[in-house]
Amino acid sequence: MSYPKQALPSAPPMPHDGIAAAGQPIAMQPMPGGSPAPGGGWMGAHQQIQSNCPPGLEYLCQVDQLMVKQKVEGFEAITGFEMNNKYEIVNTMGQRIFYAVEDTCCCSRNCCGHHRPFDIKILNNQSKEVMHLSRGLRCSTCWCPCCLQKVTVEAPAGNIIGYVAQAWSICKPRYKIQNANEETVLRVKGPCCTWNMCGDIEFDVTTADEMSFVGCITKQWSGLVKEAFTDADNFGVSFPMDLDVNIKAVMMGAVFLIDFMYFENNQKKVKSKIPH
């Protein structure tokens, strides 16, 4: 089934600790059998919860758009010394659903740069890990098709629900969204040029046969200063409301791999600021 493209909203203002963008308390993720959180920020947990939904991901059953916002690290922006990345995953109203923290060693971050292997923990608002992403150290060139990038998605940690696997391509970024059996469910196709001055960069999500459009991962333009001096990026991701919740979670994992492969290169940005 094909779905029309839908425009992703611009990234909402980053909520302060405990306060949503509209001044409302950040709502908590609904739990099975629970009632809507105060403030009306979330839909009731009893609505359309899929039977195969991993614990902690109930909210994903009820949305078709999410925003992933990387937090700016001032020390990293000035020095180029790579810090562990931190992200907020918010809904279209700017309310935080999850937050993500990278857990890699200093040596890997600063010796391997954006090619580094990583572990990313995705936590809910009670600081409980509900997803785990892991990427091994692999070749990132199209000339080595036997050892392409791959991210394992677990929810909860220890329970594999799918993979994001880079597909071989010379010109355009291509990825496969796979289920736990490594069967390709969706495909992601990016543009030849992953750099766009003052504009968004779209990665289309299609069915496995590439015949129908089903969603989009968009790297959003976040302003000249932020783009030029930091590697903190904003992404939007859209998918069908009725898509398997596990595949929605794997699509979230694809956002992090795309960020690391094409937009996480702070060393070059710092070097470009140094006068020659």
Residue 136 has pLDDT above 80, yes or no: yes
Distance CA 256, CA 135 (A): 10
* Mean pLDDT for the stretch of residues 12-25: 41
Residue 153 has pLDDT above 70, yes or no: yes
pLDDT in tens, 40-50: 444 444 456 88
pLDDT in tens, 173-214: 999 999 999 999 999 999 887 766 667 899 999 999 999 999
* Mean pLDDT for the stretch of residues 91-119: 79
Residue 217 has pLDDT above 80, yes or no: yes
Q: Of residues 206 and 136, which shows the higher confidence score?
A: 206
* Mean pLDDT for the stretch of residues 39-66: 76
* Mean pLDDT for the stretch of residues 128-144: 80
* Mean pLDDT for the stretch of residues 86-110: 84
Q: What per-residue confidence (pLDDT) applies to 59?
A: 93
Q: What per-residue confidence (pLDDT) applies to 81?
A: 55
Distance CA 132, CA 104 (A): 13
Distance CA 206, CA 210 (A): 5
| Banded pLDDT at 157 (limits 50, 70, 90) | very high
Residue 61 has pLDDT above 90, yes or no: yes
Q: Which residue has the tokens 């890699």?
A: 104
Q: What per-residue confidence (pLDDT) applies to 262?
A: 87
Between the CA of residue 193 and those of 64, 199, 214, what are the distances in Å?
27, 12, 22
* Mean pLDDT for the stretch of residues 232-243: 90
**Cβ contacts of 15 within 8 Å, gap of 6 or more:** 21, 26, 88, 90, 94, 95, 96
Q: How confident is the prediction for the chain on average, in pLDDT?
A: 76
Between the CA of residue 73 and those of 18, 59, 198, 203, 251, what are the distances in Å?
20, 29, 22, 26, 25
Q: What are phi and psi of 226, to 5 degrees?
A: -65, -40
Q: What per-residue confidence (pLDDT) applies to 151?
A: 96
| Banded pLDDT at 134 (limits 50, 70, 90) | very high
pTM (2 d.p.): 0.75
Q: What per-residue confidence (pLDDT) applies to 122?
A: 97
